[in-house]
Amino acid sequence: MSRAPLIASILAPAFLAALTPILAGDIVGKVKYAGKAPAPAKIAVTKDQAVCGKVDHLEESLLVGPDKGVKNAVINVTDPKDGKKMTVASNPTIDQNGCRFMPRVQIVPAGQSIDIINDDGILHNIHTWSKVNTPFNRAQPKFLKKMTFKVDKPENIRISCDVHSWMQGYLVVADHPYYALSDDKGGFKIAGVPAGIYTLRYWHEKLGEQTKQVTVPATGAVTADFEFPPK
């Protein structure tokens, strides 16, 4: 066999694979709460009133809309098959603004650096309650605008401020892109999931964790609504 046909025979499968469309669909749905959710309670501001007391602080660990949609539920595929990694264009941020963590819950890639911003101009102390990643526990004085730390392994990490006890939040460290965070109406979408049968995990800081099986079509979308039982 001459050299040219040999090269063509080697490259042909890769070329054809590149031309073959990826069979993938979307997972869409709504996370709801089955019981009657209590109205968010007001939190007493016990420190740094001049900054922290400018606005009312409400308990945000369970936010349920008028139609029972649950905000800040994390939905993810537990058993992806393509090995794809989650990426972001720049460092995610945890902003300490008004003595609150903003956003309260966010999804970040494993191996990612996180910027901690102090917009309040007062002393904070961010504390990550990690079990598999290295914990981070460091004071951030008013003159230190930004600190950075890194998360390497998938985990749901609670974060708090040791100076202001009511400040709570979560980092969800993901090792693939098939994650979503429910909006204020409970809605979510995980796009471009390769067709197949998967286990879907629903996690919420207050309501715990539940799973269900879902079949993703080769095109289009599958609906994967879920309702948490009363807590």
Query: What's the CATH fold of domain 24-228?
Result: Immunoglobulin-like (2.60.40)
> Measured between alpha carbons, how far is 45 from 71 in angstroms, rounded to an integer?
24
Burial tier of 64 (Cβ tally within 10 Å: 0-12, 13-18, 19+): buried
Distances (CA, A) of 79 to 43, 72, 178: 39, 22, 10
- DSSP characters for 155-184? EEEEEEESSSTT-EEEEEEESSS-EEE--T
The alpha-helical segments, DSSP class H, found in the chain are 3-19, 49-52
Tell me the pTM: 0.88
pLDDT at 208: 96
pLDDT of residue 37: 85
145 and 47 in contact (C-beta within 8 Å)?
Answer: no
Mean pLDDT of 205-224: 96
Highest mean pLDDT of the ranges 38-42, 54-58, 84-88, 185-189: 185-189
Residue extents of the structural domains in the chain: 24-228
| CA–CA dist 226, 204 (Å, integer) | 12
Residue 113 has pLDDT above 70, yes or no: yes
Q: What value does the mean pLDDT take over residues 136-140?
A: 97
Look at residue 38 in the predicted model and tell me its pLDDT: 84
pLDDT of residue 104: 97
Residue 185's pLDDT band (cuts 50, 70, 90): very high
Please count the other Cβ atoms lying within 10 Å of the Cβ belonging to residue 81: 12
Burial label for 70, CB within 10 Å (0-12, 13-18, 19+), is buried
pLDDT score recorded for residue 3: 55
pLDDT, tens only, 8-47: 454 444 443 444 456 899 999 999 999 888 888 999 999 9
- Degrees to nearest 5, angle at CA 80 with 192 and 148: 85
* Distance in angstroms (rounded) separating the CA atoms of residues 177 and 82: 11
The rounded mean pLDDT for the chain is: 91
